[in-house]
């Protein structure tokens, strides 16, 4: 046992001294730490700078500006309502943000804005917000309204176009902030029904929609008034909207959302197993081939048996893999509980299964058994290969055989995990660890966990027996690629070297 | 570990050992014994079965039949603390430092980390590598790496030191260092077995030796006994051939005659002595300018016994 530990320790040290190990180890923490930045960069860009030039008395222009402010307030109100619901904060029942179950009416949004918007609401909420609840982050504004220079109000035609051009696309070297869009309401708009939307690039469809909606309302109201409809009625007709009740699950608790959140940890462990295996397996393979090509096997085998060498290598590789996974899980836990933001919000509920000891033990068992079961293939390839080129020839079909079905399996689990393919893969030992780990989130019967676990243990025992024979027979048999017949003889322990 | 020593008259005994690979017999009914404390040469050409025999001694491979006793015990890894082994094909972990390599192999042989480090540092110092203890093997020259490999073999002060073609690939300086190390180990009571096909090393170092050809033993004994296997050769300069002289089996002229004198290579009949021939010549007025007796070298014996086998392959 002592020699096995010595070999394992040497193997562990050799791998953990490799640059590629550290690069791989740091990938996940770096990814987690830059995820919020990525979100920011990948998410919506800065607010659109919008200028409204109303040459028709200012009514339509004010309405567009008011609508844009209203939409911004609606987004704040919506975000606040979700925040209150997600963190189960006791909110005053009469406050609009106390419920997250409908499309907020203009009146509710207006009331929200009148009461100080998100800032005012948070002031009122403050005493009810528990200490461990992260601060509310209001959504970034989508629009910035830019006041037009007075001179623009009187410009028309080509002169106005020329001036707008400089505002939308300033000359290179100019320090002026370019506009993203300019909305021009020309004199006589209510009569002609023609307005202009100038954009510095591809028009923002949401902004176009809002402008279109407001101007349509103005035109409709104008027409109704001109047709003799009393002004209050005309306004009511033009602005009437349904009170749309929206039934939606609490954040993270929708059927599909809940399934995904519940499956994050099992699926992540399945992915981690796959990643750690492929990486540490290839490092172990390199080490085994190095021992063969550097002709140091004879020196090693004079002091320890092939089986001790084999078990030591397996142990060292499993230790490397578990170290990587421990570091990654540690980073995940840190990200979940020591940071705020979307990543933390996603990881925290995903860690919920770890409150069950049965789940933890099941995950650890299938993780380690899976690690050994697949590492054995790498070790076997190392034992019969003289170079990495040789090894690639054997390894490619093995990797494809293991990984391709797993990608299909993961899709199957995300889709609900009830398909016959997922069940079949649970009972094929080389896929069992992945299938059971992935299915833990969607629910897997206990008898399947026990049964497939036992089958996996028997498979690993058989693998180790066969690998021991192959290892003893192959380690010193250099120079020729073994034929299938020779491989079979070695696995049966009938090769002369294995005698 | 080094304090415990296994007491046995013969450090190594092979009894009718055969190793077959399918139809090919690598070692054929081989029996010999290496006495404790002696330096034993294991001589044979390429493919004679030397490495296979040594691997069986180390339990790296198992014999098809026969038995082996190592320090009085069957072959196995439990003997590792008492053995040192330098394989013919050498190599080390390239990313490990020199001292870590020695400590690793020392620990695999049952040494404590402290003992292995102390001995390892002393060995590196003795081999002129004190400044390279922390250099990785990949950073060392080939000669330096060979010294580190030798240190891994002797770090545990082995009772039985097994060296497979230890001089191959070594420059003259390292060959001298290795010879010194073999003598040092022997002086400290270790038994040394080494295989070689360089006869000069065997002549200088071996107390006894074994000649192996095609897996079978051809000779086992001392150097003198080996040399006595071939008759001494005489080189004489005379005016006429010594053919027909009593005791002479063959008299072959060597170079062209000069001033009536001719060099001859004389082969004596079995049992005849050079002294008798000289006495006969002087008693019968056979003029001689030179009379030189040359005993067979180990190289001659090797060629005589193994060369024919090798050429027969």
Instruction: Give dist(CA A303, CA B109) in Å, integer.
Output: 6
For residue A485, the chain B residues in CB contact (below 8 A) are none
- Both tokens of residue A90? 């006791």
* pLDDT > 70: percent of chain A: 83
CA closest to A305 among chain B residues: B77
pLDDT band at A439 (very low <50, low <70, confident <90, very high): confident
For residue B59, the chain A residues in CB contact (below 8 A) are 305
Taking 70 as the pLDDT cut, the residues of chain B under it are 1-4, 307-313
Domain range enclosing A171: 44-239
pLDDT value for A499: 43
Q: What are phi and psi of A390, to 5 degrees?
A: -55, -45
* pLDDT > 90: percent of chain A: 4
Q: B288-294 and B233-238 as β-strands: parallel, antiparallel, unpaired? A: antiparallel
Interface check for A9 against chain B (CB to CB < 8 A): the answer is: no
What is the nearest CA distance from A15 to chain B, expressed in angstroms? 10
Domain membership flag for residue A316:
yes
Window 425-484 of A, Cβ < 8 Å to B: 476
Q: What is the dihedral of CA A200, A203, A209, A215, to 10 degrees?
A: 40
Instruction: Give dist(CA A372, CA A315) in Å, integer.
Output: 9
Both A195 and A74 in one domain: the answer is yes
Q: Is the CB of A290 less than 8 angstroms away from the CB of B93?
A: yes
- In a mutational test of the A interface, the residue from B52, B60, B78, B96 whose CB has the highest number of chain A CBs within 10 Å is B60
Other Cβ atoms closer than 10 A to A276: 22
Both A459 and A424 in one domain: the answer is yes
Q: Is the CB of B108 less than 8 angstroms away from the CB of A304?
A: yes
- In a mutational test of the A interface, the residue from B77, B84, B150, B168 whose CB has the highest number of chain A CBs within 10 Å is B77
User: Which among B12, B6, B59 has a CA at the least distance from the CA of B220?
Assistant: B12
pLDDT value for B313: 43
- In a mutational test of the A interface, the residue from B1, B92, B104, B158 whose CB has the highest number of chain A CBs within 10 Å is B104
Options 3.40.50.800, 3.40.800.10, 3.40.50.1860, 3.40.50.300; which CATH number does B10-227 get?
Answer: 3.40.50.300
- Both tokens of residue B90? 């050498």
Least CB-CB distance to A294: which of B55, B64, B94? B94
pLDDT value for A104: 80
User: Which among B157, B148, B141, B70 has a CA at the least distance from the CA of B104?
Assistant: B148
Domain membership flag for residue A229:
yes
Both A80 and A111 in one domain: the answer is yes
Least CB-CB distance to A299: which of B59, B94, B152? B152
Instruction: Give dist(CA A416, CA A260) in Å, integer.
Output: 9
pLDDT tens track for A328-364? 878 877 777 766 666 666 666 666 666 677 877 888 8
- In a mutational test of the B interface, the residue from A303, A305, A313, A471 whose CB has the highest number of chain B CBs within 10 Å is A303
Mean per-residue pLDDT, A87-111: 76
For residue B215, the chain A residues in CB contact (below 8 A) are none
Partners of residue B164 on adjacent β-strands: B195
What is the nearest CA distance from A7 to chain B, expressed in angstroms? 9
Other Cβ atoms closer than 10 A to A485: 8
Window 301-360 of A, Cβ < 8 Å to B: 301-305, 308
* H-run or E-run covering A457: helix A446-474
Interface check for B108 against chain A (CB to CB < 8 A): the answer is: yes
* H-run or E-run covering B29: strand B24-35
What is the nearest CA distance from B37 to chain A, expressed in angstroms? 21
Residue with tokens 């349904």: A242
Q: In this model, does residue A496 exceed pLDDT 60?
A: no
- State whether residue A17 is helix, strand or coil: coil
Least CB-CB distance to B80: which of A6, A303, A499? A303
Instruction: Give dist(CA A246, CA A99) in Å, integer.
Output: 11
Q: Is the CB of A302 less than 8 angstroms away from the CB of B80?
A: yes
Instruction: Give dist(CA A140, CA A45) in Å, integer.
Output: 9
What is the nearest CA distance from B276 to chain A, expressed in angstroms? 54
pLDDT value for A470: 83
Both A74 and A147 in one domain: the answer is yes
CA closest to B64 among chain A residues: A499
Residue with tokens 């430092």: B97
Bigger pLDDT: A421 vs A180:
A180
Both A230 and A268 in one domain: the answer is no
Contact B244, B221 (CB under 8 A): no
Both A281 and A419 in one domain: the answer is yes
Helix-, strand-, coil-residue percentages of chain A, each rounded to 5: 70, 5, 25
pLDDT tens track for A30-51? 876 776 666 566 555 678 888 8
What is the nearest CA distance from B57 to chain A, expressed in angstroms? 9
Bigger pLDDT: A268 vs B176:
B176
Bigger pLDDT: A461 vs A108:
A461
Total of domains in chain A: 2
Q: Is the CB of A299 less than 8 angstroms away from the CB of B91?
A: yes
Mean per-residue pLDDT, A411-439: 80
Instruction: Give dist(CA A218, CA A189) in Å, integer.
Output: 10
Window 270-299 of B, Cβ < 8 Å to A: none
Q: Is the CB of B108 less than 8 angstroms away from the CB of A6?
A: yes
**Sequential DSSP letters for A217-244:** HHHHHHHHHHTT--HHHHHHHHH-----
Instruction: Give dist(CA A428, CA B89) in Å, integer.
Output: 42
Residues 6+ apart with CB under 8 A from A473: A489, A490, A493, A495, A497, A498
What is the nearest CA distance from B12 to chain A, expressed in angstroms? 16
Cα Rg, chain A, nearest whole Å: 33
Q: Is the CB of A302 less than 8 angstroms away from the CB of B58?
A: yes
Other Cβ atoms closer than 10 A to B196: 23
Domain membership flag for residue A245:
no
Instruction: Give dist(CA A367, CA A273) in Å, integer.
Output: 7
What is the nearest CA distance from B21 to chain A, expressed in angstroms? 6
Interface check for B107 against chain A (CB to CB < 8 A): the answer is: yes
Q: Is the CB of A301 less than 8 angstroms away from the CB of B104?
A: no
Contact A148, A65 (CB under 8 A): no
User: Which among B30, B307, B80, B67 has a CA at the least distance from the CA of A3?
Assistant: B80
pLDDT tens track for A203-250? 888 888 888 888 888 888 888 888 888 878 877 777 776 666 655 555
Domain locations in chain B? 10-227, 233-295
- No. of H helices and E strands in chain B? 10, 13
pLDDT tens track for A356-400? 778 778 888 888 888 888 888 888 888 888 778 888 888 888 888
Q: Is the CB of A14 less than 8 angstroms away from the CB of B85?
A: no
Q: DSSP letter at B130?
A: G
For residue A301, the chain B residues in CB contact (below 8 A) are 58, 60
- Both tokens of residue A382? 């190392």
Instruction: Give dist(CA B209, CA B225) in Å, integer.
Output: 10
Both A54 and A171 in one domain: the answer is yes
Both A330 and A401 in one domain: the answer is yes
Q: What are phi and psi of B222, to 5 degrees?
A: -85, 170
Interface check for B57 against chain A (CB to CB < 8 A): the answer is: no
- Both tokens of residue A278? 């492929």
Both A84 and A104 in one domain: the answer is yes
**Sequential DSSP letters for B176-232:** HHHHHHHHHHHHTT-EEEEEES-HHHHHHH-SEEEEEETTEEEEEEEHHHHHTTS--
Contact B161, B185 (CB under 8 A): yes
Final residue in a domain of this structure, among A212, A239, A266 = A239
Residues 6+ apart with CB under 8 A from A433: A273, A366, A367, A369, A370, A371, A373, A374, A456
For residue A496, the chain B residues in CB contact (below 8 A) are 20-22, 64
For residue B161, the chain A residues in CB contact (below 8 A) are none
Q: What are phi and psi of A252, to 5 degrees?
A: 85, 0
Q: What are phi and psi of B206, to 5 degrees?
A: -80, 140
Q: Is the CB of A305 less than 8 angstroms away from the CB of B77?
A: yes
Q: Is the CB of A302 less than 8 angstroms away from the CB of B87?
A: yes
User: Which among A254, A265, A250, A248 has a CA at the least distance from the CA of A413?
Assistant: A265
What is the nearest CA distance from B94 to chain A, expressed in angstroms? 8
- In a mutational test of the B interface, the residue from A296, A297, A311 whose CB has the highest number of chain B CBs within 10 Å is A296
Q: Is the CB of A290 less than 8 angstroms away from the CB of B22?
A: no
Both A307 and A229 in one domain: the answer is no
- Both tokens of residue A268? 């992540």
Mean per-residue pLDDT, A157-174: 82
Both A89 and A204 in one domain: the answer is yes
Both A60 and A17 in one domain: the answer is no
């Amino acid at each position: 046992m002592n020699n096995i530990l010595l070999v394992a320790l040497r193997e562990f040290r050799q791998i953990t001294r490799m640059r590629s190990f550290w690069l791989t180890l740091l990938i996940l923490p770096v990814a987690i730490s830059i995820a919020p930045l990525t979100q920011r960069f990948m998410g919506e860009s800065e607010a659109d700078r919008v200028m409204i030039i109303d040459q028709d008395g200012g009514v339509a222009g004010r309405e567009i500006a008011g609508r844009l402010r209203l939409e911004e307030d609606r987004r704040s109100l919506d975000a606040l309502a979700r925040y209150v619901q997600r963190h189960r904060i006791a909110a005053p029942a009469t406050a609009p943000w106390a419920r997250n179950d409908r499309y907020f009416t203009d009146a509710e949004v207006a009331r929200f804005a009148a009461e100080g918007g998100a800032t005012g609401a948070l002031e009122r909420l403050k005493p009810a917000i528990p200490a461990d609840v992260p601060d509310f982050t209001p959504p970034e504004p989508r629009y910035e309204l830019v006041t037009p220079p007075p001179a623009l109000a009187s410009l028309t035609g080509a002169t106005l176009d020329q001036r707008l051009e400089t505002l939308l696309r300033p000359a290179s070297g100019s320090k002026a902030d370019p506009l993203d869009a300019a909305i021009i309401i020309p004199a006589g708009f209510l009569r002609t029904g023609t307005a202009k939307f100038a954009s510095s690039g591809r028009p923002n469809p949401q902004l176009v929609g809002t402008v279109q909606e407001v101007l349509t309302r103005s035109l409709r109201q104008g027409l109704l008034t001109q047709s003799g409809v009393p002004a209050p009625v005309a306004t009511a007709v033009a602005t009437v909207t349904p009170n749309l009740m929206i039934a939606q699950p609490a954040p993270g608790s929708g059927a599909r959302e809940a399934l995904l959140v519940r499956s994050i940890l099992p699926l992540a462990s399945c992915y981690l197993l796959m990643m750690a295996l492929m990486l540490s397996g290839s490092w172990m393979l390199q080490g085994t081939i190095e021992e063969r090509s550097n002709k140091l096997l004879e020196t090693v085998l004079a002091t320890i048996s092939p089986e001790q060498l084999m078990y030591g290598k397996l142990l060292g590789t499993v230790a490397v893999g578990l170290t990587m996974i421990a570091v990654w899980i540690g980073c995940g836990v840190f990200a979940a509980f020591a940071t705020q933001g979307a990543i933390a919000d996603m990881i925290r509920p995903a860690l919920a299964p770890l409150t069950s000891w049965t789940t933890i033990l099941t995950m650890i068992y299938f993780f380690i058994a899976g690690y050994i079961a697949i590492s054995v293939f790498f070790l076997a390839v190392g034992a019969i290969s003289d170079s990495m080129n040789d090894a690639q020839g054997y390894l490619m079909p093995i990797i494809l055989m293991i990984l391709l079905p797993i990608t299909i399996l993961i899709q199957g689990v995300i889709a609900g995990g009830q398909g016959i393919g997922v069940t079949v893969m649970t009972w094929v030992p080389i896929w069992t660890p992945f299938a059971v780990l992935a299915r833990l989130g969607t629910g897997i019967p206990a008898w399947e966990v026990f049964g497939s676990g036992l089958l996996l243990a028997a498979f690993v025992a058989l693998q180790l027996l066969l690998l021991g024979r192959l290892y003893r027979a192959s380690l010193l048999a250099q120079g020729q690629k073994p034929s299938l017949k020779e491989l079979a003889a070695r696995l049966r322990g009938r090769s002369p070297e294995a005698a | 570990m080094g304090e415990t020593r296994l007491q046995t008259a013969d450090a190594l005994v092979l009894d009718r050992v055969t190793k077959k690979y399918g139809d090919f017999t690598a070692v054929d009914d081989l029996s010999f014994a290496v006495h404790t404390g002696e330096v034993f040469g294991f001589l044979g050409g390429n493919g004679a079965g030397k490495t296979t025999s040594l691997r069986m001694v180390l339990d790296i491979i198992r014999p098809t039949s026969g038995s082996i006793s190592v320090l009085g015990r069957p072959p196995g890894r439990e003997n590792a603390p008492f053995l040192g082994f330098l394989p013919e094909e050498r190599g080390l972990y390239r990313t490990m430092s020199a001292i870590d390599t020695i400590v690793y192999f020392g620990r695999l042989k049952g040494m404590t980390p402290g003992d292995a480090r102390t001995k390892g540092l002393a060995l590196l110092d003795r081999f002129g590598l004190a400044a390279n203890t922390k250099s990785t093997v990949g950073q060392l020259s080939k000669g330096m790496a060979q010294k580190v490999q030798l240190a891994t073999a002797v770090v545990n002060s082995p009772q039985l030191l097994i060296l497979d073609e230890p001089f191959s690939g070594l420059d003259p300086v390292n060959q001298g260092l290795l010879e010194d190390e073999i003598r040092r180990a022997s002086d400290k009571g270790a038994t040394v077995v080494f295989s070689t096909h360089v006869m000069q090393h065997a002549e200088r170092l071996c107390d006894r030796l074994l000649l192996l050809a095609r897996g079978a033993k051809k000779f086992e004994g001392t150097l003198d006994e080996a040399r006595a296997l071939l008759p001494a050769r005489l080189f004489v300069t005379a005016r006429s051939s010594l053919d027909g002289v009593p005791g002479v089996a063959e008299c072959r002229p060597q170079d062209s005659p000069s001033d009536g004198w001719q060099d001859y290579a004389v082969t004596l009949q079995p049992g005849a002595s050079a002294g008798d021939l000289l006495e006969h010549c002087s008693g019968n007025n056979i003029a001689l300018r030179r009379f030189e007796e040359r005993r067979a070298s180990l190289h001659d014996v090797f060629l005589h016994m193994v060369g024919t086998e090798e050429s027969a392959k």
